[in-house]
Structure 1
Amino acid sequence: MMTDLRQSLELLTREAHAKGYSEEKSTSIQLRIFREFVERERERLHYEHRAGASGHHVVQQWTAAVDAVVIEAYRAVMLNGEGTPGECAVIALGGYGRGALNICSDVDLLFLFADEVPDHSPIVHGVLHLLWDVGFDLGHSARSLQSTLDFASRDDIAQTAVVDARFLAGLEPLFGRFVNNFRARFMADGGWEFSEKIVRQLHTRREAHGSYAQVLEPDVKESTGGLRDVHALQWIASARHGTASLEALVEHHLISKRDFRLLEQSIDLLWKVRNELHFVHKRKHDRLDFSAQPRVAAAFGYRDDAAALGVEHFMRDYYLAAREIVRISDAVCHQALRRPRGIQTVTDIVRRRVLPDGAVYVRGKILLPRRRKDFFTTNPRRLLSLFANMQRFGAMMSETASWAIYDELALVDEDFRTDPGNAAVFLSILSEPAHLGAVLRRMHWTGLLGAFVPEFGRLTCQVQHDYYHAYTADEHSIVVIDRLSELASTGQDSRVATVYRSLPRKHLLHLAALLHDVGKSGGHGHAERGAEMSITITRRLGLEKADQDLVAFLVAHHLRLSHLSQRRDIDDLAMVRAEAERFSDTDTLDMLYVLTWADMNATQARPLSRWKCQLLDTLYQRLREVVETRGLGPEFAALRTLESPQKFRNLLSERIGEEAAERHLSGMPRRYSLMHSLDEAATHALRADSLKNEPVLVDVTPAGNHARVIVYTRDRRYLLSDICGVLAVNNLNILYADAYTRTDGIIVDVFGVEVVGESDIRDEVFVNTLRETFRTVWTGQTAVAELIARHRRRWARIKPKAGVAPSHVVIDNTVSETNTVIDVFAIDRIGLLYDISRAISENGLDISMARIGTDGDRVADAFYVVTSSGKKLVDAAESEKVRESILRVIGNERT
């Protein structure tokens, strides 16, 4: 490669001399040759990358190409008489120094001088300008040997960059002196202090980027499990063993040959992904954006199948690679901090506690005994009992013990899984909420959880490609356990916490929580499939038949209460009674309620909204009343149903007067008293009563991480679509909605909204603009359709959410006795709800109620509708017409 470039340049030089070219023309031709070489190499590597070349091949070849350009640029400058031989050394730093340069990465150079750097160095100036003209992104400095060492002592980033230093051209003995002086100054203790600094930097970076490798949009370089973790390994190897080669980690027994192969494969995938991002963006771009993930997956040949989307297969492989990098880097960093053992302190000896299984507890850690040979082979149950110890003491599992467990996973065979004693240890861990999530997470990290419950192991790094699921399936399941354990705290006084603490058999709930998504390894229909798989697992654990059935029931129905509370009319007593028939007793309902709450709270990093919690609580209360009063007669159930609203009515009467309370609550559904506080109800009542001389009133109140818009008006056709249209043209995206109609015809509509763009909904000017838009529409000065038409061009500039799930519409006449229910599933965008509700109204249907649900990038909306004659929509042709109309506006005409 360098030979080709040099031959071209030498040919040019001879030709220039022979033809008497001017210096300017010679330089121009010289620059053209450099550029053509770089472009040819970039195109060649792009072609090889597309053809399936390894990431290692591409970065190695590109580094060699850049080496050729830098070295020949230096040579050309010297031949042109612009520099003094032996003046300086040209040194590659950072990723370029490591020989791992991605296509658009910065080219970092150090011009190292023995003594003072001249004010104007022709060689520095000449080389840099040539490289800039070629098109490289350069990071550069010119320093003396002493100033470089001094700067490295003050700047940790500079220090690690120098560790990667590689000689390119110029005064090589100076480079040798520099390396020796650097090691003498910073690694005189054998690299211990430097290695400890690298480990601290790694932990600080992970805290900034999240300690979890499976983030939604990983940065291939900086995220946990990214290339920076690999760099830390190389820096430690260099500090401790004088070489940045990862093979040194094997030679010095820091990692096994098997882990070295896994590490190489993982690094190669990350290099390949980074190359793809650079090729596509034509610049340095290291974030694997959600929208880019399907394109990268397709470029690498991943395809959809019955089990998962191609992008989900790709991201699983990516996360598995990142996870391996974390696992191996953690182990090496742990070794890097283990200085030679000195004399044990008296405190350690006194506090050292030998446990019944032979393990040792000291200073908050579970350790293996010093004589640990055959520790697990003589008693494999210790693999599990170590975690029981960890839970009992709220301790950490030592890295040495974790690695020993990982190395002995071959002991976990079918005999181990079906052993009653092993099952007893596992179930005893599940029976105790304290530290349960931490114990299971470490058990999973070592591989033991997946080995003991292979069905769970298949969830490792399982991805669902949408904005809604912030975690992979395995981590999500353990986060559900975390949420349950938090409920055990005495500081929790919510209904769900009270119910959880009252449960008598928590180990069954925890087991169901762990297993609730195991069916996802087989694709769609995961709840039913997971229930069948849970029977196999619980039978293997030796549970009684009734307990097997209970766990299977919880797994099969873990989505049910969430679905009903958010997308169905929970005031429909017929629906509630029918649903209550599923539950044989209140314990089963209590468990499903708590599991549902934890599942909903473990899907995204932010807490579940108060609104969704209230909906779930309301449905649970309704169901429990029916289950509790089953067989006691309808009169008893009716009294229970009226008890809470009547109490609410009495309290509201004390606030605003009996007449005003009666006027406001008359005709209100029962859920109103459960969904809103007395303060909110009093405000609603007073505002609704003041509507007499106004066509519409609008209030805006903060509600956690979003805002609530309350609209007071009178019922009319296209009401919902008009409200949604006004919210949309003010760049408000609807997260949820609930509508209430008083007997006097006044509507109180409550919308949860978030702002799309830079506006602040708390700003008085913004709120006044919103109110004015409502006023002009309601007084007929402006048509919503005209506003929407003007704003569509602006919305087109907003980057859409990159969802991949197909949109679809389901029309159902079995849900309600009086209404047809239209379920709409689509990718969210601003103005979507306006389009859907408008399409429904234009088909002559009246919207009785809408249940609006937004989860990340997806909407799942349910519209309760009747025809103009107040009947269900039963005509098949009309139903299909409505369905097609909605599909057109949501952007998917056929499913």
Structure 2
Amino acid sequence: MVKDILNPSGGDAIKALAAGRASLIPDLSALPLSTTQRFERAFSRLLDTYFQTRVVETGADRLKLALVAVGGYGRGEMCVGSDIDIIILCRRSIPPQAIDVAQPLFLPLWDAGYTLGHGFRTIADCVKLGAKDNKVLCSLLDARFVTGDASIFEELQERMREKVLARREKAFLQWLDEEHAQRLATHGDGAMLLEPNLKEGVGGLRDYHRLLWLARLRGGTGDVCGVMRLAGFSDEDYALLERNVDFLHSVRNRLHVLSRRKSDQLHVDLQPEIATRMGYADRDGMLAVELFLSDLHRCMGDIKALAAAFRSVAGDADEAVLGCAPAAGSVHVQGNVVHVCPPQALFEQPHLALEALTLAANVQCEGIPVLAWETRQVLARLVTEAPARLAELSGIRNVLVTILTSGRAFDILEQMVGVGMLSVLLPDFGRVRDRVQFDGFHTYPVGQHTLFALRYLESLPVDGHPKFTPLWNGLRDTTTLMLGALFHDLGKGGADASSHSAKGAEMARSQLTAWGMPEAVVDEVVFLVEHHLLLARTAHRRDLSDESVVAHCAGIIGTQERLDLLYLLTYGDSRATGPKAWSQWSASLLEELYGKVANMLRDNTLATPLSARTINDTRRRVEALLGQGGAPVSGDEGMALLEMLPTRYALVVDPEDILRHMALARELAREITDAKRRLSEERAARGIVLLDPRPLEGRQSDVWELVVVARDQHGLFATVAGVLALHNLRVYAADAFVWRDGTVVDIFHVSAPPDPLYAREFWVKVRGSIQYALTGKLSLEYRIDQKRSTFPVHTGHNDVAVNIDNGLSDFHTVIEIAAPDRPALLYDVARTLQAMRLDILFAKIATLGSRTNDSFSVRDTYGQKLTDAEQVSEVRNALMHALRQ
């Protein structure tokens, strides 16, 4: 019988564990990095000591059982927030005293706040589960004896080798490949992402664990170095693996300390502090965090490549994947692996590197052509030790063009980036490769973003996109487009981020000219780089019904061929930026702009005649609809309202929607007439609003159109904007129209209601809030300030800018603001503009991660642009004041 549990707290053992762990934590802040102790190994030893001590204290050492560490604890990788996974292993049956063993062992750990995973298993249980469940098999491959009866653990190991490992290899390898694909789909490629998952992302610790499992499956002992040596890898390869794994563990431990929980996603807000704790500092124009991420991505890239090479060996032990043909100075393909033979020949004949890349681009094989591991490593040494020998090679242009137009540009360039070769051949790429934009908008650093832009473009023939694939297929040559994508962001970096397009265009011209590219190609690539943001910025920030906006774009672009190229580049750039830059909503805006510019280029005429024709066509269509039975308003009433419509309204709104708005205007008039029976004429119209919300057809379902109809009254637009913010609705765009009879029709594009099942009730609440705010029954400013207090305060990147431009539109003054996004920002801007007696006719809200870039088309109280310099200055100062609050 186990000793009576008089001290369930664990006494000295749990105190020693707590003190030992606490003594290790400060080492995670020690600098430089080389002085930090391997926390995970030391912590694992502390846990071993705890269990060994408690087993003796409780008398469990006299029972026939063994404590076996599994999972991360079994591997000796106990990070700060890791779970403690342990099995109480019995030979043939679980004794009745097992619960008496478990309580004094585990209760002190739970009380101390550790997360514990434990179980009771017999040897037969483990063998049975390991034979049918691959996850359990992985856990048992990590198993390590801690204390108790060692013979029980040894018997388990022997039974596993005989009954499971020898029989499960093929199925286990297939499962590992499926699990790898699932991790890639779920967590992405850690070697490329701005916020990598250190454990589950491809290139993360899980890839290292796969190496361990494969080694133990093959070698039984878990001697990774020995198994790698038998597979043809060198001791230097194993040392590289160990250094990279140590680096990842160092980052992961610091992440756990800073986040105060088990966390594997390296979020951007913690990266600067982790970089500091890892010993990084600003250097050579690069931020410390960018230097840190550069090393992290290289680390994860090496682990990814090594794991893939080792998996190839494990998958076919009879084929020497790493072996080379005997002919010296040759390049050949074996399977889908490209070899330089011998790899060391690269130092004497660096042109073999270009030959290997050209072969990878042209070879017909299954899967992705990859550089052999030994070739990759020697090439990485060449890049480090003698980069000039590569940079001086002739034929670089031809090789890059071949790669860019091969349909495999992403895969081949990714390998070139991994060894640093692309940075040598294209120094401007190397300068920005690891640049980071901490805006919550970009998913990748600049270098990886560029590769993904290429990937999205070259995937169009396979993806079959209904809009862009036909344009791609219609290109005579994709060289110009792919070069434009390669160079489009190389101008980033420096204090003035807004000028990166112009800087990138200069870099493209210089580099392409040095490569001897034809002048016509150079001019087209430079155009694409300089204007690669033109369509996106115009679509998201401008009133596309304004003919001068479309004419401005058409004047810059000039030809249909350039428009197609720019449209495709915008697609690749937006997709590669991330999900916040590309959605059905943004795609529909770009499609609308593309169609209007294409029409203008095709007709070779200014928009004014086309606009007049559109307005006349709209009027005739409305008249025809009024003459049909079942129209929402009568013919005479509709014809009278038709005369009230402003020109821009008739140009923008579809005839069917005009009839719908007429019905709302008629209902509004009835409610006002009824109110006049109780109130004065001035008070009767105050606060009466009608809403007509509906999901936008043909666009993503989470974007709704909200039509607000009311009489013209001061502060209406700002009030609606504030109420929408109060109800957690994001505004994407807004149109404001005032009919000649004083009816206001505001059209908002907003996010969907929180619960679509109760959308009707939700919009009733919104309408009530607007009416209460307009009639003084709801203090909108007070409620919004309350709401703001629940959001985190921005501590960085708080720069704001206001630009007031009279040249962007023939009819309005365009006010552009750039500021950190925050609740009710649109309300603050609208309230400021209306306090300055400016009418908001149109608004585009473009939120890019943590920042917003909004555009407002305004006129003064006389219906004119803002031409008075003092007034312009006053408006700018007032907006700056509002944005900085």
Compared with structure 1, are the counterparts of its residues 657 and 716 closer, same or farther at alpha carbon in structure 2 (3 Å cutoff)?
farther
Compared with structure 1, are the counterparts of its residues 302 and 862 closer, same or farther at alpha carbon in structure 2 (3 Å cutoff)?
farther
Pairing partner for 2:300 from 322, 328, 334: 322
Compared with structure 1, are the counterparts of its residues 177 and 492 closer, same or farther at alpha carbon in structure 2 (3 Å cutoff)?
closer
- Inter-partner Cα distance in structure 2 for 1:444 and 1:679: 54
- Inter-partner Cα distance in structure 1 for 2:109 and 2:459: 58
The answer to whether 1:276 aligns with 2:254 is yes
Equivalence for 2:84: 107
Amino acid at match of 1:588: R
Structure 1 residue 861 displacement after superposition: 0.8
- Inter-partner Cα distance in structure 1 for 2:282 and 2:457: 35
The answer to whether 1:716 aligns with 2:713 is yes
Equivalence for 1:47: 26
Equivalence for 1:693: 670
Output one character per residue of 1:583-618: Cα deviation in whole Å (capped at 9) or x when no partner.
565543443343234323432237834543454445
The answer to whether 1:143 aligns with 2:135 is no
Compared with structure 1, are the counterparts of its residues 340 and 791 closer, same or farther at alpha carbon in structure 2 (3 Å cutoff)?
same
Equivalence for 1:837: 830
Structure 1 residue 738 displacement after superposition: 3.3
Structure 1 residue 159 displacement after superposition: 1.8
Equivalence for 1:667: 646
Alignment of 1:797-812 (within 5 A): 797=790, 804-812=796-804
Aligned-partner SS, 1:518: coil
- Inter-partner Cα distance in structure 2 for 1:664 and 1:255: 83
The answer to whether 1:512 aligns with 2:504 is no
- Inter-partner Cα distance in structure 2 for 1:750 and 1:222: 45
The answer to whether 1:702 aligns with 2:695 is yes
Compared with structure 1, are the counterparts of its residues 209 and 395 closer, same or farther at alpha carbon in structure 2 (3 Å cutoff)?
same
Aligned-partner SS, 1:45: helix
Q: Is the 8 A contact 2:198 2:252 kept in 1?
A: yes
Equivalence for 1:734: 731
Q: Is the 8 A contact 2:131 2:168 kept in 1?
A: no
Aligned-partner SS, 1:861: strand
Structure 1 residue 284 displacement after superposition: 2.5
Structure 1 residue 808 displacement after superposition: 0.3
- Inter-partner Cα distance in structure 1 for 2:331 and 2:762: 67
Q: Is the 8 A contact 1:73 1:131 kept in 2?
A: no
Q: How high is the TM-score relative to the length of structure 1? A: 0.81
The answer to whether 1:764 aligns with 2:743 is no
Compared with structure 1, are the counterparts of its residues 184 and 864 closer, same or farther at alpha carbon in structure 2 (3 Å cutoff)?
same
Structure 1 residue 165 displacement after superposition: 1.7
Equivalence for 2:518: 544
Compared with structure 1, are the counterparts of its residues 314 and 371 closer, same or farther at alpha carbon in structure 2 (3 Å cutoff)?
closer
The answer to whether 1:160 aligns with 2:134 is no
- Inter-partner Cα distance in structure 2 for 1:611 and 1:378: 48
Output one character per residue of 1:375-427: Cα deviation in whole Å (capped at 9) or x when no partner.
9878554323323325xx58523446576466446499667667665533542
Output one character per residue of 1:686-717: Cα deviation in whole Å (capped at 9) or x when no partner.
54555433542222222415221322324332
Compared with structure 1, are the counterparts of its residues 71 and 586 closer, same or farther at alpha carbon in structure 2 (3 Å cutoff)?
same
Output one character per residue of 1:224-281: Cα deviation in whole Å (capped at 9) or x when no partner.
3322222111111222223435433543345445544443333233222322232234
Aligned-partner SS, 2:707: strand
Pairing partner for 1:57 from 34, 38, 41: 38
Pairing partner for 1:850 from 843, 855, 872: 843
Equivalence for 2:685: none
Aligned-partner SS, 2:797: coil
Amino acid at match of 2:803: I
Aligned-partner SS, 1:823: strand
Q: Is the 8 A contact 2:290 2:434 kept in 1?
A: no
Structure 1 residue 337 displacement after superposition: 1.0
Compared with structure 1, are the counterparts of its residues 404 and 700 closer, same or farther at alpha carbon in structure 2 (3 Å cutoff)?
farther
Amino acid at match of 2:28: H
Aligned-partner SS, 1:732: coil
- Inter-partner Cα distance in structure 1 for 2:414 and 2:616: 47
Q: Is the 8 A contact 2:803 2:815 kept in 1?
A: yes
Structure 1 residue 518 displacement after superposition: 1.6
The answer to whether 1:97 aligns with 2:74 is yes
- Inter-partner Cα distance in structure 2 for 1:461 and 1:162: 39
Aligned-partner SS, 1:116: coil
Alignment of 1:21-100 (within 5 A): 27=7, 31-52=10-31, 57-78=38-59, 83=60, 85=62, 87-100=64-77
Alignment of 1:365-384 (within 5 A): 380-384=353-357
Aligned-partner SS, 1:739: strand
Alignment of 1:467-866 (within 5 A): 467-485=440-458, 494=467, 500-520=472-492, 524=497, 525-573=499-547, 581-583=555-557, 585-605=559-579, 608-620=582-594, 638-643=608-613, 646-647=616-617, 650-651=620-621, 653-656=623-626, 660=638, 663=642, 666-669=645-648, 673=652, 680=657, 683-684=660-661, 686-688=663-665, 690-694=667-671, 695-703=688-696, 704-713=700-709, 714-754=711-751, 759-760=755-756, 763-778=759-774, 780=775, 782-783=777-778, 786-790=779-783, 792-794=785-787, 796-797=789-790, 804-816=796-808, 819-866=812-859
- Inter-partner Cα distance in structure 2 for 1:118 and 1:377: 68
Compared with structure 1, are the counterparts of its residues 600 and 746 closer, same or farther at alpha carbon in structure 2 (3 Å cutoff)?
farther
Equivalence for 2:684: none
Compared with structure 1, are the counterparts of its residues 258 and 683 closer, same or farther at alpha carbon in structure 2 (3 Å cutoff)?
farther
Q: Is the 8 A contact 1:718 1:841 kept in 2?
A: yes
Q: Is the 8 A contact 1:734 1:854 kept in 2?
A: no
- Inter-partner Cα distance in structure 2 for 1:237 and 1:132: 34
Compared with structure 1, are the counterparts of its residues 324 and 557 closer, same or farther at alpha carbon in structure 2 (3 Å cutoff)?
same
Q: Is the 8 A contact 1:273 1:296 kept in 2?
A: yes
Equivalence for 1:346: none
Compared with structure 1, are the counterparts of its residues 501 and 23 closer, same or farther at alpha carbon in structure 2 (3 Å cutoff)?
closer
Q: Is the 8 A contact 1:88 1:114 kept in 2?
A: yes
- Inter-partner Cα distance in structure 2 for 1:49 and 1:109: 26
- Inter-partner Cα distance in structure 2 for 1:103 and 1:856: 31
Q: Is the 8 A contact 2:439 2:850 kept in 1?
A: yes
Q: Is the 8 A contact 2:204 2:303 kept in 1?
A: yes
Equivalence for 2:367: 396
Alignment of 1:119-518 (within 5 A): 119-121=96-98, 122-188=100-166, 194-210=172-188, 213-215=191-193, 217-248=195-226, 250-253=228-231, 255-300=233-278, 310-341=288-319, 380-390=353-363, 393=364, 395-399=366-370, 401=372, 404=375, 407-408=378-379, 410=382, 421=395, 423-431=397-405, 437=410, 440=413, 449-485=422-458, 494=467, 500-518=472-490
- Inter-partner Cα distance in structure 2 for 1:228 and 1:744: 68
Structure 1 residue 102 displacement after superposition: 0.9
**Residue segments in structure 1 that go unaligned for 5+ positions in a row:** 1-21, 343-356
The number of equivalent residue pairs is 834
Q: How high is the TM-score relative to the length of structure 2? A: 0.82
Structure 1 residue 516 displacement after superposition: 0.5
Amino acid at match of 1:515: F
Structure 1 residue 302 displacement after superposition: 5.2
Structure 1 residue 513 displacement after superposition: 1.2
- Inter-partner Cα distance in structure 2 for 1:377 and 1:811: 52
Compared with structure 1, are the counterparts of its residues 270 and 402 closer, same or farther at alpha carbon in structure 2 (3 Å cutoff)?
closer
Structure 1 residue 168 displacement after superposition: 1.8
- Inter-partner Cα distance in structure 2 for 1:664 and 1:219: 61
- Inter-partner Cα distance in structure 1 for 2:464 and 2:209: 44
Q: Is the 8 A contact 2:480 2:521 kept in 1?
A: yes
Aligned-partner SS, 2:704: strand
Q: Is the 8 A contact 1:819 1:871 kept in 2?
A: yes
- Inter-partner Cα distance in structure 2 for 1:190 and 1:566: 55
Amino acid at match of 2:215: A
